Amino acid sequence: MNLVLTWLTDPAHWAGEDGVPHRILEHLTYSAVALVIAAIIAIPLGLYVGHTGRGKFLVVNVAGAARAIPSLGLLFIMVLLLGPRLSGDAAFVVPCLVVLAVLAVPPILAGAYAGVEEVDASARDAAKGMGMRGLQVLLEVELPCALPLIFSGLRSATLQVVATATIAATVGLGGLGRLLIDGLAVRDFGQMAAGAVLVAALALAVDLIFALVQRYAVSAGLTGRRTASRRSRPKASADSTLITIS
Amino acid sequence: MIRFDSVSKEYPDGTVAVGGLEMTAPTGKITVLVGPSGCGKTTSLRMINRMIEPTSGRIWIDDRDTTTMDAAELRRGIGYVIQQAGLFPHRTVAANIATVPMLLGWDRKKARARALELLERVGLPTSFADRYPSQLSGGQQQRVGVARALAADPPVMLMDEPFSAVDPVVRDQLQDEFLRLQGDLGKTIVFVTHDIDEAIKLGDQVAVLRVGGKLAQIAEPARLLGHPVDDFVADFVGRDRGYRGLGFQRAPKLPLAAETTARLGDSAEQVRAAAGTEPWTLVVDEGRRPLGWVNTEQVAGTVSSEVLHRGGTVASTNGTLRNLLDAALSSPARRGVVVDEDGTFAGTVLAHQVLDAIESERAAAAAAQPAGSAAR
């Protein structure tokens, strides 16, 4: 513990190219780009499957199977496959983003799909019966009602991606993983431990931001008067969703 | 007017949900579809707004063939109320009610004003406007569901077991208010229920369907109870239909007997002195509205609301023969309490007087209608 504190409180570690702020920025950039890509793929796909009921089997199985893919192994395969076709940093950045996105897709997909699937059937029936067209039913009823589960999927994916983005350092990129890899190389356990603590803290901080956004984005009618006691629930329900789906 | 023109719905597995239905729901009236589960009543209803497409036949609304219309446009012109209300949980009550107006492109202000107006119409305070459905009871949600269906003032309303998910007391209340509302609005309503009592209470005409979506009988409630066409309909409308049929006959003017009355707080001696040998005395309030009966021999001290016998029902002078007979039969004193329209005590009747009145009405009816003309 002392080692960590000593390392973290050393001002030399907080400045420059390999200073903590810059590493955090790199780490967040990889994570954010990967999450945005994953969300662009998984949310519309999940909504579509939930709305139409088509491809349910595929989503359930792909989402389950994809979670078993080892990230580090996939990263090396991607670097070998894509690396030669790309130049400069991209040879490593792109494979890295692919791996992180692959990691993020299943929980987001499962959340979006389950969210729409679980919308009260009578609300859906009423929406259609009052003359909403398919897309209106989706955007005006199903999507807003699915938001709590979509958020749990996103938060679950975010935690995994932020934690896993350390692997970027294994192929020579930046991010907080550098602290771990470089620390290991020179047997600086203080630095390694500090890196681990920072990754954990970053993941929690990002989750907190998501929690705040969720409170404003989700209708009070869905969270109800139980807002206070429910704040901890979305994460738990995301996990249970994933378990039932895989 | 809604007209079913040999409408059938057959599923790919060969199940026939509705088989060649011919039926008309007249403008401004409530037509109730009733029958056992699997009789295709809900399917028939949902084919009107094309939530289910018929496999053959046509459904006409006035002179328009629904199959030629755009389904979403058609539905916006038809009020739709379903069993679980189906309110949108993420929207406030006002926003829920304003759904169809917003789809039709009304401006926000006008839609909200309309929502508030309808809240009052269905008997909810306007302070509910900004609540969410989860904050309402089942009965309140169902009222909002009705308000939502009425929002764009559609001439036609479809109601699929709207009151079956609430408790009996609330259901009774919702039914009464629904009839009052319909009295003002005069919509063309098709109403599905599995409850024959509800069908008879609400329907201007009742269509009894049998399994496989065949129309067994369509008639006014009184005729359905009095002249079921076959054993299926007879069984379905129930055993005590002779008695329930009295609910459609206005009570004639019967000679009412005066009654010694007492007030809460009267002493036992006062009551006994006034009653003489009569074991039961009627207790009324300051406005002469009946409260219940008190046993003259058993009362001690003063007459309090705890000692009142409240088992007796009360009939109104403008009520039905059924109310009148029930008042007589349920009274511990054997004298049925009758009140005027304003609820004040008018007098009492005996069961045999009511039965005599029923007999003479039947005799008069038989004389007016020659025997053997029992139509369907």
Query: What CATH number is associated with residue A195?
Result: 1.10.3720.10
Query: Closest approach of chain B CAs to the CA of A144, in angstroms?
Result: 7
Chain B positions touching A133 (Cβ under 8 A) are 72
- Select from B223, B248, B273 the last residue of a domain: B248
Higher per-residue pLDDT: A239 or B48: B48
Q: Mean pLDDT of all residues in chain B? A: 91
Query: Closest approach of chain A CAs to the CA of B322, in angstroms?
Result: 38
Q: Establish if B253 belongs to a structural domain.
A: no
pLDDT at B370: 62
- Select from B248, B281, B306 the last residue of a domain: B248
Which residue in A118, A120, A130, A132 has the most chain B C-beta atoms within 10 A of its own C-beta, making it the best mutation to test that interface?
A: A130
pLDDT band at A242 (very low <50, low <70, confident <90, very high): very low
Q: Mean pLDDT of all residues in chain A? A: 85
Question: Residue A228 pLDDT > 60, yes or no?
Answer: no
Q: Establish if A11 belongs to a structural domain.
A: no
Count of the separate structural domains present in chain A? 1
B134 touches chain A (CB under 8 A): yes
pLDDT at A229: 36
- Residue ranges of chain B with per-residue pLDDT less than 50: 372-376
Question: Which of B76, B88, B89 lies nearest to residue A131, judging by beta carbons?
Answer: B76
Question: Which of B49, B85, B90 lies nearest to residue A129, judging by beta carbons?
Answer: B49
Q: What is the radius of gyration, based on Cα positions, of chain A?
A: 20
Examine the domain organization and report whether B46 and B165 are in the same domain: yes
pTM of the model: 0.79
Examine the domain organization and report whether B205 and B340 are in the same domain: no
Q: Which domain holds residue A181?
A: 2-6+19-245
Higher per-residue pLDDT: B330 or A246: B330
Chain B positions touching A224 (Cβ under 8 A) are 132, 134-135
B80 touches chain A (CB under 8 A): yes
Pairwise CB contact (< 8 Å): A130 & B84: no
* Cα nearest neighbour of B149 on chain A: A130
Examine the domain organization and report whether B243 and B267 are in the same domain: no
pLDDT in tens, A174-194: 888 888 888 888 888 888 898
- Burial grade of B340 (CB within 10 A; 0-12, 13-18, 19 or more): middle
Q: Which domain holds residue B332?
A: 261-358
Of the candidates B131, B123, B102, the one whose C-alpha atom is nearest the C-alpha of residue B114 is: B102
Examine the domain organization and report whether B288 and B225 are in the same domain: no
pLDDT at B371: 54
Examine the domain organization and report whether B219 and B331 are in the same domain: no
pLDDT in tens, B195-248: 998 999 999 999 999 988 899 999 999 899 889 999 999 999 887 888 888 888
Name the A residues in 132-151 with CB < 8 Å from any B CB.
Answer: 132-133, 136, 141, 144-145, 147
A163 touches chain B (CB under 8 A): no
Question: What's the average model confidence in pLDDT over A117-136?
Answer: 94
Q: What is the ipTM of this complex?
A: 0.79
Q: How far apart are the first and last CA of chain A?
A: 38
Name the B residues in 162-181 with CB < 8 Å from any A CB.
Answer: none
Beta bridge partners of B58: B5
